Chain A
Amino acid sequence: MSIKLNALYSDSYVDISQYRDQHFKGNRYEQEKLLKQSSTLYVGNLSFYTTEEQVYELFAKSGDVKRIVIGLDKVKKTACGFCFVEYYTRADAENAMRFVNGTRLDDRIIRTDWDAGFKEGRQYGRGKSGGQVRDEYRQDYDPARGGYGKLVQKA
């Protein structure tokens, strides 16, 4: 009876993106496999001032949150605008991808993406100055993310 009509079961918000972690220990296939089973999300474009509590409150709307790891500047050890949200089940993480991704937290549109799983060390920004890479090169002024990009600041 029940054939699944591919045309009808689109669930594009849950698909994995093009991003692959360059520091991942393993090959592309292994990374993709983990991404497709993961219950952990990367959350980006956070304000530096967004707290763990705010992230909890928002992401708890799609299910019980197991753990949040706030991303830190490698040098300053202060929040640098991203975090990981781990759920107990994949289904809850999928609902976050469908309904929290692309909405606002602290007045900023946040972006969520699948993550292969938190490992010690991944909570640090990978930009040269210690924060995220995107804050190294951007040209705009963003008061919630340290003002101008690092390159602009150095000039």
Chain B
Amino acid sequence: MSRRRHSDEGDAGSQPHKRRRTSEPIEIEDRLESLICRVGEKSTSSLESNLEGLAGVLEADLPNYKSKILRILCAVARLLPEKLTVYTTLVGLLNARNYNFGGEFVEAMIRQLKETLKANLYTEALYLVRFLSDLVNCHVIAAPSMVAMFENFVSVTQEEDIPQVRSDWYVYVVLSSLPWVGKELYEKKDVEMDRLFNQIEGYLKRRQKIHVPMLQVWTAEKPHPQEEYLDCLWAQVQKLKKDRWQERHILRPYIAFDSVLCEALQHNLPPFTPPAHSDDAVYPMPHVVFRMFDYTDAPEGPVMPGSHSVERFVIEENLHCIIKSHWRERKTCAAQLLSYPGKNKIPLNYHIVEVIFGELFQLPTPPHIDVMYTALLIELCKLQPGSLPQVLAQATEMMYMRLDTMNTTCIDRLINWFSHHLSNFQFRWSWDDWADCLTQDLEKPKPKFVKEVLEKCMRLSYHQRIVDIVPASFSVLIPADPVCFYKYGEENSSSLPGFAVTTTVGNAIKNRASNEEILIVLKDVPNPNQDDDDDEGDGFNPLKIEVFLQTLLHLAAKSFSHSFSALAKFHEVLKALTDCDEGKLHILRVLYEFWKNHPLMISVLVDKFIRTQIVDCAAVANWVFSPEMAHDFTRFYVWEILHSTIRKMNKHVQKIQKELDEAKEKLEKQQNKKQRDSGDEEDMEKQNSEDEEGQLEEQIEKLQEKVESAQSEQKNLFLVIFQRFIMLLTEHLVRCETSGVDINTTWYKNCIERLQQIFLMHHVIIQQYMGTLENLLFTAELDHHILAVYQQFCALQL
């Protein structure tokens, strides 16, 4: 092997992999990063000896690489919270060897804390504070100064005119650090800590909890209450205090180094004032603690810590952190979850399953994309084939049993997860265990759930497969065979109005007629809506739409691609037929009549109609709420279509806004350049740049108009949707009241939760239009059941 010399590195272009000498700085920095990130992972040596070794290496590198090491340590404090105590121990060891470095690290952490708060990165800020508090245990930070920081945090509860979510966060940060540092702080400053506790208790008593019902996965209190997160943590910390801060779950490597660390000099945290509230601050939303298991559910092996034990909190926090760190790589994520330190003392599989479903069902939205959780659970089943699938089956069974009180949005996610999961395991399931649902009204949650699951399973496979996998008794729940319904192909259809034209149109399409030719053929279709003659016959003609679309869809029914092709080819005809609002609504009706057995086809064609501007989003909303769709109103696919429509509207607005912002930036750059260059240019150049500026300004004006128009359409869409909900729900409530019937029917629960779902799934956009919504729709005159949904939504960011 020839030796490469430095001069060879000149041919960089043809050698993508340069050989480097090991003493090059970049390599050393990568190595440092790697060493630090990997400490604590599986190793032949003990954690203590690895930490000791690493501390030695870093101490030696401090003279040359101090700032890099500082930055890496700050980053792992922020990004690897599940390894908190490993890194605080490391910092403790470094501080013991080099007091100045310890001081610089603390300063860097405070700077980072300020920056994360300014950037609305509250979760990361929380990890930083927790890290600082654990540094007290490592003798890096003096306990009194930590208590002082906590006092400043808790005093935020005394601020006036702030959103509750602001003071909530500061209290949460203090409480969630106490499992790590409560003991030490109480030992050193018990008077101050007691005072802090009283303040916190007072705050928790007086804070509003209107938002809680909207965030609960189950409405029932049994078997596990869905507690508000601050209430739960408070109970856990109080119990910990009662137990005199005895906590045995957290891994504390620094204990082994006590003799070294207690010799170290401590630093005082500089006084830290929480940054003042500003209007751009976006605090984390409150959440509800998801619980589905308790100690009775894990039959053998270690006992699950109680719901108010601090161990439960720490385990859940760490598992959430692992998912946050590794969600992109499902194999690594699964492996990391399963190698959780201390796993032998807890029923780890149950905790993992509970945390994963907790995230999947989190309201308003899961922290990560839904499909990630499906993929992650499959990996976990692969790694623990002897135990995890059973826990998962147990969990599924439990969730089935509790469907009656489960939030509709969460049921949607459960349907998607379960059907997708089954499709990876040959749809094997003990359906007979769920035979009880067959005796119920099909609209009740359990049979409805099974029906929707089977429909989704069919979408991933095919009709006969579903028939084969369920017992015969379940046939009533099997979805319809997804065939189309061509009304002009039925027996006796020749007597239908417009029948003759369907043949002509059909032939014209087969003979590759043009759009103009088709329109001419369609002129022969009578208009059932009009008595007097409209010269051109250009008004809304429902029969024309039916004749054309039914025939077109029928010819193109073979596949999605065929249908898309057909819609593209005859776009002009369709545009002409749906020029008005009634036309847009009718085309959706015709589509539904033709494809009502094939919800996925309806979905994709509605999507195409919107993207090619044959219908607008408001038309889809009106169609969903129309009387013709009443009997499908509670079906999952209808809401998938509506939410997809809203998302398209939102993306459209975002896209134009982005174009506008880019054009404005360009103009600014241009203007700055002009200022810099003024006087240097020749007349020709000046003229050119002025022209460009003029063009840009014109473009910006046009885009501004476009944005306003799009936002107006977006606002209108939400208004239409909310208006229709209010009408529908009010009708129901009034009817029940006058006939003395209980309002809480299955339909009502579904409908009111669908209203909630609109708020939850699009909360960011809707918050922009709160003023209008409150003035026009959600006024005090509204029935309090409906108004409550709006008020709960407002409470999410108050």
Whether A and B are associated in the same complex: the answer reads yes
Contacts from A to B (Cβ < 8 Å) = 1-3, 5-8, 10-14, 51-54, 56-58, 61-62, 64, 67-70, 95, 98-100, 103-107
| Binding stretch for chain A, among B141-149, B157-165, B324-332 | B324-332
| Chain B nearest Cβ from A72, distance in angstroms | 11
Query: What chain B residues lie within 8 Å of A54 (beta carbons)?
Result: 459-462
Query: What chain B residues lie within 8 Å of A58 (beta carbons)?
Result: 460
The 9 A-B residue pairs with the shortest CB-CB distance, nearest first, are A7-B37, A99-B375, A61-B371, A57-B459, A99-B371, A104-B424, A1-B115, A11-B328, A52-B560
| Chain A nearest Cβ from B118, distance in angstroms | 10
CB-CB contacts below 8 Å: B536-587 with A: 559-561, 564
- Return the chain B residue nearest A96 by Cβ: B371
Query: What chain A residues lie within 8 Å of B330 (beta carbons)?
Result: 13, 98-99
Could you tell me if A5 and B329 are in contact, using CB atoms closer than 8 angstroms?
Answer: no
The residue from B111, B328, B420, B426 contacting A13, defined by CB atoms under 8 A apart? B328
- Return the chain A residue nearest B328 by Cβ: A11
Given contacts A7-B34, A12-B329, A51-B559, contact A106 B420 (CB under 8 A): no
Query: What chain B residues lie within 8 Å of A2 (beta carbons)?
Result: 75
B435 at the interface (CB under 8 A from A): no
Could you tell me if A56 and B369 are in contact, using CB atoms closer than 8 angstroms?
Answer: no
Question: Given contacts A54-B462, A99-B375, could you give 14 more A-B pairs where the C-beta distance is less than 8 Å?
Answer: A1-B112, A5-B76, A8-B76, A11-B328, A51-B559, A53-B559, A56-B604, A57-B600, A61-B416, A68-B561, A69-B561, A95-B371, A99-B374, A103-B424
Q: Determine the distance from Cα of A116 to Cα of B560 in the docked complex, in whole angstroms.
A: 23
The residue from A51, A53, A70, A107 contacting B426, defined by CB atoms under 8 A apart? A107
Given contacts A5-B75, A13-B329, contact A62 B369 (CB under 8 A): yes
CB-CB contacts below 8 Å: B597-612 with A: 600-601, 604, 607
Query: What chain A residues lie within 8 Å of B656 (beta carbons)?
Result: none
Q: Determine the distance from Cα of A104 to Cα of B544 in the docked complex, in whole angstroms.
A: 44
Q: Determine the distance from Cα of A62 to Cα of B330 in the docked complex, in whole angstroms.
A: 15
Q: Determine the distance from Cα of A118 to Cα of B75 in the docked complex, in whole angstroms.
A: 41
Query: What chain B residues lie within 8 Å of A98 (beta carbons)?
Result: 328-330, 372, 375
CB-CB contacts below 8 Å: B326-360 with A: 328-330, 332
CB-CB contacts below 8 Å: B6-45 with A: 30, 33-34, 37-38
Could you tell me if A52 and B38 are in contact, using CB atoms closer than 8 angstroms?
Answer: no
Query: What chain A residues lie within 8 Å of B325 (beta carbons)?
Result: 8
- Return the chain A residue nearest B326 by Cβ: A10
Of listed B325, B371, B607, residue having the most chain A CB within 10 A: B371
Query: What chain B residues lie within 8 Å of A61 (beta carbons)?
Result: 370-371, 374, 416, 420
Main secondary structure of the interface of A (DSSP, over half): mixed
CB-CB contacts below 8 Å: B432-459 with A: 456, 459
Q: Determine the distance from Cα of A54 to Cα of B598 in the docked complex, in whole angstroms.
A: 12
Total number of A-B contacts with CB less than 8 angstroms?
A: 99
Query: What chain A residues lie within 8 Å of B97 (beta carbons)?
Result: none
27 interchain pairs (CB within 8 A)? Answer: A3-B72, A5-B76, A5-B79, A6-B30, A7-B34, A7-B38, A8-B75, A8-B76, A13-B330, A51-B462, A52-B560, A53-B559, A53-B560, A53-B600, A53-B601, A54-B459, A56-B560, A58-B460, A61-B371, A62-B369, A64-B644, A70-B561, A95-B369, A95-B371, A98-B328, A105-B423, A106-B461
Query: What chain B residues lie within 8 Å of A107 (beta carbons)?
Result: 426
Main secondary structure of the interface of B (DSSP, over half): helix
Query: What chain A residues lie within 8 Å of B116 (beta carbons)?
Result: 1
| Chain B nearest Cβ from A43, distance in angstroms | 14
Q: Determine the distance from Cα of A126 to Cα of B375 in the docked complex, in whole angstroms.
A: 32
- Return the chain A residue nearest B332 by Cβ: A10
Q: Determine the distance from Cα of A82 to Cα of B675 in the docked complex, in whole angstroms.
A: 57
The residue from B33, B456, B460 contacting A5, defined by CB atoms under 8 A apart? B33
| Chain A nearest Cβ from B275, distance in angstroms | 15
- Return the chain A residue nearest B426 by Cβ: A107
B378 at the interface (CB under 8 A from A): yes
Q: Determine the distance from Cα of A2 to Cα of B124 in the docked complex, in whole angstroms.
A: 11
Q: Determine the distance from Cα of A105 to Cα of B607 in the docked complex, in whole angstroms.
A: 24
The residue from B79, B369, B460 contacting A57, defined by CB atoms under 8 A apart? B460
- Return the chain B residue nearest A95 by Cβ: B369
Given contacts A62-B371, A99-B372, contact A10 B329 (CB under 8 A): yes
Q: Determine the distance from Cα of A76 to Cα of B38 in the docked complex, in whole angstroms.
A: 54
Q: Determine the distance from Cα of A100 to Cα of B378 in the docked complex, in whole angstroms.
A: 11
Q: Determine the distance from Cα of A5 to Cα of B34 in the docked complex, in whole angstroms.
A: 9
Given contacts A8-B80, A99-B369, contact A52 B561 (CB under 8 A): yes
Query: What chain A residues lie within 8 Å of B33 (beta carbons)?
Result: 5-7
Given contacts A54-B461, A61-B370, A106-B461, contact A5 B600 (CB under 8 A): no
| Chain A nearest Cβ from B420, distance in angstroms | 7
B71 at the interface (CB under 8 A from A): yes
Q: Determine the distance from Cα of A6 to Cα of B38 in the docked complex, in whole angstroms.
A: 12
Could you tell me if A5 and B461 are in contact, using CB atoms closer than 8 angstroms?
Answer: no
Could you tell me if A103 and B378 are in contact, using CB atoms closer than 8 angstroms?
Answer: yes
- Return the chain A residue nearest B121 by Cβ: A2
